[in-house]
Amino acid sequence: MEGFSFSTEITVRFAETDAQGIAHNASYLVWYEVARIAYLARFRGGYRTIQEDGYEALTIESHVRYLKPVFFDDRVTVSARVADLRGARFRFEYALARGDELVADGWTQHAFVDRETLRPTRFPAWLAGEIAAAEEAG
Amino acid sequence: MEGFSFSTEITVRFAETDAQGIAHNASYLVWYEVARIAYLARFRGGYRTIQEDGYEALTIESHVRYLKPVFFDDRVTVSARVADLRGARFRFEYALARGDELVADGWTQHAFVDRETLRPTRFPAWLAGEIAAAEEAG
Amino acid sequence: MEGFSFSTEITVRFAETDAQGIAHNASYLVWYEVARIAYLARFRGGYRTIQEDGYEALTIESHVRYLKPVFFDDRVTVSARVADLRGARFRFEYALARGDELVADGWTQHAFVDRETLRPTRFPAWLAGEIAAAEEAG
Amino acid sequence: MEGFSFSTEITVRFAETDAQGIAHNASYLVWYEVARIAYLARFRGGYRTIQEDGYEALTIESHVRYLKPVFFDDRVTVSARVADLRGARFRFEYALARGDELVADGWTQHAFVDRETLRPTRFPAWLAGEIAAAEEAG
């Protein structure tokens, strides 16, 4: 997907479909999350390390445009990038494609927080640096 | 919730929480849906009747602002209203409150489609009329 | 449901159905859990109190017989009882009915554990006593 | 896993955990399903072909033993085999391992049905043959 340097693949599970015969709208937020985790896994142990360091990333906003229905067993490429990273906040953007066809896109906004208090805390400089480098390398 | 004439209640299920100890971000889209179904249930048999008449409502866009974390067993009031209804498209708006505290809000955009082809089709006049009347009565 | 002194009601959510047009088999374990939580809610603050006291109940075994398909918007009565309670272990049994029709049944086995270590610990005597009294009162 | 000739891998998603900090008990039934779909994908187009031929496989019974908690991002090998296949019924057995450690096991019972009527129908001979051959080849 143009403009994205990272992507991962999911296969639509039967459990993710609903009685309309297509993937349920809430499943996309789970796929976003799978892509975020895979995106971060490239940096020093990924999200688990973030947690072990005493942080969590809360989702504070989400948006999805469902452009084409996706079906059981469809293979979907989820592209993701970090679009903005300031202080305790950062934003992920996503594009979901089935083959060449864009089937959904959207974004999520996150707050970096202390794991115990759930209070906002500055994004770790090392991780911000690695993400910035990876996005530039694109 | 001000500006909403309809609401329903959900209790946060254990299965809807995640390892952050709070409700997972995808759960909110399920609660939106529970509210839409309850909203429509007031009109001639609700969504089941819509399906039996040969229609489905697809979700084509969703947005959530997560303002405060919600926890297992929290009782959440989900207010919903139809904000816009033109041709085959309509929009639901939501406000989620725990007691007096607004914990999330957002909206979804929908397309009314033929059940077999999943192609857009005009929203039934009778239902549009009943919804308009209910929203005005507020 | 005969032999059960407690029941709660759920309505099948659209998100709980799958492309077979019926409720997904994993949804039943969530309904079991909803029933357990409602069952325990009758005793001193319920599961939240159990957690605040430093315990969790882990599910260590589950069984479901799916006797009749259930559909979107079906109203299902979930009856539950504690069948066995010894040391750190206890068992819940369930019967799910749509009107007069038994649609599923089964059981889960649980271990009472320390919340921090997840190690088995004795079931609190006060709660065991209240459950025994409630089951006898039937 | 001894006695199993087929396995697939899943990574525990954040959405599949709960506030106990471990994977939710209902997630295992979804992983069973992922394994069934992958198991069948080896034979002529897999479950999608089964559906296109006018069939569905309903889950009529499920059982899980949760032996060890599994955590976010754990990589779990799900081994699966068809243990019994007579008339319209068949049984899948599962073993879930994290590295060398068995973390769960269990089985599901299924009925092969006509897609429209959901009535039991004979398992297709070609598929029964291919499964038997694959299991024997082990």
The tens digit of pLDDT for each residue in A65-84 reads 999 999 999 999 999 999 98
Residues contacting residue B36 through CB under 8 Å, at least 6 positions apart: B47, B57, B80, B92, B108
D97 DSSP β-pair partners = D77, D102
pLDDT reading at A138 higher than 80: no
Quick check: B1 pLDDT over 80?
Answer: no
**CA B40 – CA B32 distance, rounded (Å):** 12
Nearest CA in chain A to D71: A48
Q: Which chains touch A (3 or more CB pairs under 8 A)?
A: B, C, D
Answer whether D62 sits within 8 Å of C61, measured CB to CB. no
Q: Which residue has the tokens 């889960």?
A: C108
- CA C126 – CA C44 distance, rounded (Å): 10
| CA–CA gap between residue B35 and residue A134 (Å, rounded) | 41
pLDDT digits 0-9 by tens, D108-118: 999 999 998 88
What integer pLDDT is reported at residue D2 of this predicted model? Answer: 83
Is the pLDDT assigned to residue B137 strictly greater than 90? no
Residue A45's pLDDT band (cuts 50, 70, 90): confident
B chain contacts of residue A108, beta-carbon cutoff 8 Å: 25
Q: How far away is chain C from the Cα of B33, in angstroms, using its nearest Cα?
A: 8
Closest CA in chain A for residue D16: A30
Distance of CA B117 to the CA centre of its chain: 24
Confidence at residue D84, expressed as pLDDT on a 0 to 100 scale: 86
By Cβ distance, the residue of A13, A46, A73 closest to D30 is A13
Q: What is the pTM of this model?
A: 0.97
Instruction: Name chain C contacts of D47, Cβ cutoff 8 Å.
Output: none
| pLDDT value of position D107 | 98
> Min CA distance, C133 vs chain A (Å)?
39
Residue C22: pLDDT above 90? Answer: yes
Which of B80, B76, B110, B102 shows the shortest CA–CA distance to B93? Answer: B80
D73-104 pLDDT, tens digit each: 999 999 999 998 888 999 999 999 999 999 99
Q: Would you state the pLDDT for residue B111?
A: 95
With contacts defined as CB-CB under 8 Å, which chain B residues touch D21?
19, 21
Residue B123: the pLDDT is 85
> How is C73-108 classified by DSSP, letter by letter?
T-EEEEEEEEEEEETTEEEEEEEEEETTEEEEEEEE
Check whether B2 has a pLDDT greater than 90: no
Average pLDDT of B61-88? 95
Q: Report the alpha-carbon distance of residue C30 to residue A68 in Å, rounded.
A: 30
| C contacts of B13 (beta carbons < 8 Å) | 30, 33-34, 37
Predicted pLDDT at D99:
97
Contact residues on chain B for A66, CB-CB shorter than 8 A? 58-62
Query: Which subunits have 3 or more CB–CB pairs within 8 Å of chain D?
Result: A, B, C
pLDDT band at D55 (very low <50, low <70, confident <90, very high): very high
Q: Which residues of B touch A (CB under 8 A)?
A: 20, 22, 25-27, 29-30, 33, 56, 58-67, 69, 108, 118
Looking at the predicted structure, is the pLDDT value of residue C138 above 80? no
